[in-house]
Structure 1
Amino acid sequence: MPEDNVLEKTNRINLLFDFYEPLLTEKQRTTLQLYVHDDYSLGEIAEHFEVSRQAIYEHVKRAEQTLYDYEAKLGLLRKHEERLKLAEEAQSYLNRLEPEARGRIGELLQAIVNMD
């Protein structure tokens, strides 16, 4: 797998983790936190939990699949990305307005983007 794809996948998992972390089990949260956020190797995590590297690998894969399943059902990340894209487009129009209108509309736009 090319390095760009690995980085893209890692970034995607990080984003999904940010949205769905509370829905994961404690063990899934801890394992993904160590593996994806803290960049521990599978071997380091296995040593910490005193289990095999293969057990951690399978646990990470299941946890990742759980995140993808939540996204498929709830679509929180997709909706967030759509809001960001719309906000970017709105910002380009906003930049064309007079300074007085630009400030208040910019505040409203930020409120929409940050709404969750």
Structure 2
Amino acid sequence: MLEKTTRINFLYDFYQALLTEKQRNYMEMYYLEDLSLGEISESFDVSRQAVYDNIRRTEQMLEDYEKKLGLYQKFQQRQTLLDQSKQLLKEQKYDQITSVIDQITDLE
């Protein structure tokens, strides 16, 4: 569950501008503020089921955006390559850093 929550939070960070205000509100309240479905439903005067359905649809939209645009995947790849670069610098393997930098550049 924590892994899913972390993934959804990252996807939300990347794609929130593509969501409606209502979708953003529900996602922020549920994932960032850790409110229950009941608490969110009371805030918007809608049923708990309506909140649940909206959150699930929004999660699916975020996953669809990621499949099409891949911003989170590229971010993860970039982070991995940056970590490799740091390790290579510590080990003073300067000749290998150029290759890693080229890989980072290719992600753009």
TM-score (normalizing by structure 1): 0.79
Residue 90 of structure 1: how far off its partner (Å)? 1.1
Specify the alignment match of 1:3 in structure 2: none
Provide Cα deviations, 1:55-104, integer angstroms capped at 9, x if missing partner. Answer: 00000000101100000000000000000001111111111239xx8xxx
Provide Cα deviations, 1:17-40, integer angstroms capped at 9, x if missing partner. Answer: 010011111111010000000000
Corresponding residue SS for 2:91:
coil
Gaps of 5+ in 1: 1-5
The residue correspondences of 1:27-38 to structure 2 (distance < 5 A) are: 27-38=22-33
Corresponding residue SS for 2:28:
helix
Percent same amino acid among aligned pairs? 51
Q: Is residue 50 of structure 1 aligned with residue 45 of structure 2? A: yes
Specify the alignment match of 1:89 in structure 2: 84
Specify the alignment match of 2:6 in structure 1: 11
Specify the alignment match of 1:69 in structure 2: 64
What is the number of residues matched between the two proteins?
99
Q: Which runs of 4+ in 1 moved over 6 A?
A: none
Corresponding residue SS for 1:39:
coil
Gaps of 5+ in 2: none
Corresponding residue SS for 1:48:
helix
Corresponding residue SS for 1:97:
coil
Root-mean-square deviation over aligned CA pairs = 2.1
Query: Which 10-residue stretch deviates more, 45-54 or 87-96?
Result: 87-96
